[in-house]
């Protein structure tokens, strides 16, 4: 019984995390692209910042995923 | 032109030395850390769908039921130990038991090859570069531009050997899983944690030597100037000390989670490809559809990005503890408390 509940709740947990970080990534990358379009000469710096920010946002989904892997089923 | 080349050669020599240091450090660190964790983590047999029950899996289930249950049956691309366990069912239990050594040992294979390759390139360097040397110089120059862009010319050159070696090593670790019969060692938490601890040590060394004890404590307290500042400092200091330890932990977890997740994705897709043909009465004949092939290209791309992220974050952690002689980079320092 416990196992079957977890089987439903793990994917839901990961998908909620993915929705959140998807929205966050969309905003971050969208703004970065806009900024790059406005100032193409600063593209390198903006890209570095964007990748770092994207890594921080994406890490949240990864943590949810790791929880699913590591918590005993 | 010649002066420029001389600089390149110097930095690639330093890169080589730092590469060897990092590789040895993490190679030693990982088995030591791994020895605490003896569960046969993620040794799910991919090809269980084929024949009735793999003898290896059965054996593990009987002898090591608890651990097997705890680890869960996470699909994974089959690697050399899995095949060895299938060929020698009697030794399967031993192989599963020693998996915590075998996984990090893949890192040592990479170390050996990287060392030999770099030695070969480094030995034969000349003014008229060969094709290989040109490629290596391009890589070094690209890394130089990237890191000097973040840390500035002076500090960038000082930390280029460590960060460049880190990037190249992590790329090798991540890509190694795509080689048939090989595992990527970075899908093992101990390995990525070892790398993160390397970064932690570099950051701490930089912090305590460049800022000094007084400077570090003042930095942790948020450089207080008035009464309100000192009141807030009481709250800020524990926060900053915790952060020092959370930084390497999250750095290691991010890389591990990405690469392990990628491996699981590939394993599931492989399994799905086998399951598609399960209606076909193929008794023991390995038959399947390579569904994981497109995802492997994705994995190559994402592995590179993750290596880049690890390197960039290490660079930024170093940047945060460097003395601020120019206020150009201050926004980086405050952006992710």
- Higher-confidence position of B245 and A3: B245
User: Among A42, A62, A73, which would you mutate to test the B interface (most chain B Cβ atoms within 10 Å of its Cβ)?
Assistant: A62
Q: Is A5 contained in some domain? A: no
Q: Is A46 contained in some domain? A: yes
Indicate whether B153 pLDDT > 80: yes
Q: Which of A2-11, A24-33, B135-144, B172-181 has the highest mean pLDDT?
A: A24-33
Average pLDDT over residues B88-99: 77
Do A44 and B149 make contact, defined as CB atoms within 8 angstroms?
Answer: yes
| Inter-CA distances, A40 with B215, B327, B331, Å | 38, 23, 20
Q: Where are the alpha helices (DSSP H) in chain B?
A: 2-34, 55-63, 65-71, 80-87, 92-97, 99-123, 131-151, 153-176, 189-206, 212-220, 227-276, 293-321, 330-335
Residue A11 Cα, gap to closest chain B Cα (Å): 14
Distance between CA atoms of residues B256 and B262, nearest Å: 10
- Higher-confidence position of B16 and B255: B255
User: Among B145, B309, B316, which would you mutate to test the A interface (most chain A Cβ atoms within 10 Å of its Cβ)?
Assistant: B309
User: What's the structural domain count of chain A?
Assistant: 1
List the domain range (segments joined by +) for residue A40: 11-66
CB B136 within 8 A of CB B12: yes
Question: Based on C-alpha coordinates, what's the Rg of chain A?
Answer: 17
Indicate whether B54 pLDDT > 50: no
| Residues shown for chain A | 73
User: Among B258, B302, B316, B332, which would you mutate to test the A interface (most chain A Cβ atoms within 10 Å of its Cβ)?
Assistant: B258
| CATH (domain of A43) | 1.20.20.10
Average pLDDT over residues B279-296: 72
Q: Is A61 contained in some domain? A: yes
Residue B317 at interface with chain A, using a CB cutoff of 8 Å = no
Q: Go through B87-104 and write b for each residue having 16 or more CB atoms within 10 A of its CB, e for each that does not.
A: eeeeebbebbeebbebbb
Dump pLDDT digits (tens) for A9-66: 888 888 999 999 999 999 999 999 999 999 999 888 888 888 888 888 888 888 888 8
Please give the structure tokens belonging to residue A7: 């089987």
Do A45 and B74 make contact, defined as CB atoms within 8 angstroms?
Answer: no
Under the banding of pLDDT at 50, 70 and 90, the label for residue B95 is confident
Do B72 and A72 make contact, defined as CB atoms within 8 angstroms?
Answer: yes
Q: Is A42 contained in some domain? A: yes
C-alpha B103, offset from chain centre: 13
Q: Is A73 contained in some domain? A: no
Under the banding of pLDDT at 50, 70 and 90, the label for residue B50 is very low
Average pLDDT over residues B314-324: 87
Residue A70 Cα, gap to closest chain B Cα (Å): 7
Q: Is A72 contained in some domain? A: no
Judged by average pLDDT, the poorest of A55-59, B26-30, B117-121, B249-253 is B26-30
Judged by average pLDDT, the poorest of B55-59, B227-231, B281-285 is B55-59
Whole-prediction pTM:
0.73
Under the banding of pLDDT at 50, 70 and 90, the label for residue B96 is confident
Residue B256 at interface with chain A, using a CB cutoff of 8 Å = yes
| Inter-CA distances, B100 with B78, B133, B204, B248, Å | 16, 37, 29, 22
Domain residue ranges of chain B, discontinuous segments joined by +: 77-336
Residue B70 at interface with chain A, using a CB cutoff of 8 Å = yes
Please give the structure tokens belonging to residue A12: 């839901």
Q: Is the ipTM of this complex over 0.95?
A: no
Q: Is A1 contained in some domain? A: no
Distance between CA atoms of residues B8 and B14, nearest Å: 10
Please give the structure tokens belonging to residue B188: 């093992």
Judged by average pLDDT, the poorest of A46-60, B49-63, B295-309 is B49-63
Under the banding of pLDDT at 50, 70 and 90, the label for residue B202 is very high
Question: Which residues of chain B have a CB within 8 Å of the CB of A62?
Answer: 253-254, 257-258, 261
Average pLDDT over residues B201-216: 90
pLDDT of res. B15: 63
Distance between CA atoms of residues A33 and A10, nearest Å: 34
Distance between CA atoms of residues B227 and B111, nearest Å: 54
Separation of first and last alpha carbons in chain A:
11
Question: Which residues of chain A have a CB within 8 Å of the CB of B309?
Answer: 51-52, 55
Indicate whether B274 pLDDT > 70: yes
Residue B78 at interface with chain A, using a CB cutoff of 8 Å = no
Question: Which residues of chain A have a CB within 8 Å of the CB of B255?
Answer: none
Distance between CA atoms of residues B40 and B130, nearest Å: 46
Indicate whether B4 pLDDT > 70: no
Residue B69 at interface with chain A, using a CB cutoff of 8 Å = yes
Under the banding of pLDDT at 50, 70 and 90, the label for residue B19 is low
């Amino acid at each position: 019984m416990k196992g079957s509940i977890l089987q439903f709740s793990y994917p839901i947990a990961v998908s909620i995390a993915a929705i959140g970080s998807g929205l966050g990534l969309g905003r971050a990358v969208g703004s970065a692209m806009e900024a790059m379009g406005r100032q193409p000469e600063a593209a390198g710096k903006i890209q570095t910042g964007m990748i770092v920010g994207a890594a921080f946002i994406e890490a949240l989904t990864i943590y949810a995923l790791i929880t699913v892997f590591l918590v005993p089923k | 032109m010649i002066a420029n080349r001389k600089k390149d050669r110097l930095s690639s020599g330093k890169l080589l030395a730092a590469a060897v240091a990092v590789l040895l450090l993490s190679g030693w660190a990982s088995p030591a850390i791994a020895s605490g964790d003896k569960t046969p983590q993620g040794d799910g047999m991919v090809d269980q769908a084929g024949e009735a029950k793999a003898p290896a899996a059965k054996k593990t289930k009987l002898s090591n039921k608890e651990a097997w249950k705890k680890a869960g049956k996470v699909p994974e691309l089959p690697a050399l130990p899995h095949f060895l366990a299938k060929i020698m069912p009697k030794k399967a239990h031993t192989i599963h038991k020693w998996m915590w050594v075998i996984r990090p040992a893949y890192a040592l294979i990479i170390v050996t090859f990287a060392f030999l390759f770099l030695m070969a390139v480094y030995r034969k360097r000349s003014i008229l570069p060969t094709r290989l040397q040109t490629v290596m110089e391009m890589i070094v120059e690209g890394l130089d531009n990237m890191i000097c862009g973040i840390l500035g010319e002076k500090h960038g050159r000082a930390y280029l050997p460590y960060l460049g070696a880190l990037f190249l090593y992590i790329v090798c670790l991540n890509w190694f899983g795509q080689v048939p019969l090989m595992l990527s060692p970075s899908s093992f938490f101990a390995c990525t944690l070892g790398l993160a601890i390397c970064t932690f040590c570099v950051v701490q060394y930089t912090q305590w030597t460049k800022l000094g004890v007084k400077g570090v404590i003042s930095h942790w307290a948020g450089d207080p100037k008035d009464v309100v500042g000192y009141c807030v400092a009481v709250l800020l200091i524990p926060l900053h000390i915790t952060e020092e330890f959370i930084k390497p932990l999250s750095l290691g977890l991010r890389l591990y989670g990405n690469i392990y997740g990628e491996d699981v994705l590939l394993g599931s897709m492989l399994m799905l490809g086998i399951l598609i043909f399960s209606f076909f009465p193929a008794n023991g004949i390995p038959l399947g559809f390579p569904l994981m092939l497109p995802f492997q290209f994705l994995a190559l791309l994402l592995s590179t990005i993750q290596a880049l992220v690890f390197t960039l974050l290490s660079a930024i952690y170093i940047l945060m503890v460097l003395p601020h002689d120019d206020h150009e980079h201050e926004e980086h320092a405050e952006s992710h408390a």
